[in-house]
Chain A
Amino acid sequence: GEQVEQRPPHLSVREGDSAVIICTYTDPNSYYFFWYKQEPGAGLQLLMKVFSSTEINEGQGFTVLLNKKDKQLSLNLTAAHPGDSAVYFCAVRLRGGNYKPTFGKGTSLVVHP
């Protein structure tokens, strides 16, 4: 089945720096890609959903890149601020209603003032 490797597991940056989290998946038929943010004691908040047809996806303060050739998905936080401190999860799923997403193991990001 699908395997998703997420790195790094922990990331510490200073306010204003960029932060990059990368997920590598195995199934070339993966079609939907997600980034979720989890703040302490809270649920998973959807940051962005990406379709396999779109390589560059701009959000507010971040960019999601999809490289299908290398089967990599990345979350690039530009100019991180302390409010970005959280655990970030990528998730990958196949096309079709029956398929569950496969999650990465998460990246704990700390942004220091």
Chain B
Amino acid sequence: GPKVLQIPSHQIIDMGQMVTLNCDPVSNHLYFYWYKQILGQQMEFLVNFYNGKVMEKSKLFKDQFSVERPDGSYFTLKIQPTALEDSAVYFCASSRPGNTLYFGEGSRLIVV
């Protein structure tokens, strides 16, 4: 099926530093999403993005978080500064309008 690629697959970072998680969505998809998963449990919605704008964000999408997709390149999630509680696996997904979300393999972030 359609593939969403995420880079990096793993990252360890010092608390307070900045991290950027990159997502290469499916080529003809227009909607992009980030989800957060802790300990293999619930998929927690963070944000969705369409036409260069955030459509909806959850309470988990703190002020330290930002997303962008400059010039149709990677869809990125930036956390600045990072906190210990940001340690999780972050999943990117993309979809066409009203259609199935396809997920990447996740970026495992460890904040120490």
Spell out A's residues near B (CB within 8 Å): 32, 34, 36, 38, 40, 42-46, 49, 87, 89, 91, 95-106, 108
Which residues of B sit under 8 angstroms from A44, Cβ to Cβ?
Answer: 43, 91, 93, 103
Residues of chain B at interface, number, CB under 8 A:
26
- State the 8 A-B residue pairs at the shortest beta-carbon distance, nearest first: A97-B97, A44-B103, A43-B105, A103-B43, A43-B103, A105-B42, A97-B98, A49-B100
> In the complex the two chains form, is A101's CB within 8 Å of B101's CB?
yes
B25 at the interface (CB under 8 A from A): no
A100 touches B106 (CB 8 A): no
The CA-CA distance from A103 to B44 in the complex, in Å, is 8
B67 → A minimal CB distance (Å): 14
A-B contact count (CB 8 A): 56
B48-77 near A? 1/0 per residue, CB < 8 Å? 101000011000000000000000000000
Q: Does B28 contact A (CB under 8 A)?
A: no
Does the CB pair A100–B43 fall under 8 Å?
Answer: no
Can you report 12 A-B residue pairs in the complex whose CB atoms are below 8 A from each other?
Answer: A42-B106, A44-B43, A45-B103, A46-B1, A46-B100, A97-B30, A97-B31, A97-B97, A98-B50, A105-B42, A106-B41, A106-B43
Q: Which residues of B contact A46 (CB under 8 A)?
A: 1, 100, 102
Q: How distant is A89 from chain B, measured CB to nearest CB, in Å?
A: 6
Q: A98 contacts B56, CB within 8 Å?
A: yes
**Chain B 1-46 residues near chain A, CB threshold 8 A:** 1, 4, 30-31, 33, 40-43, 45
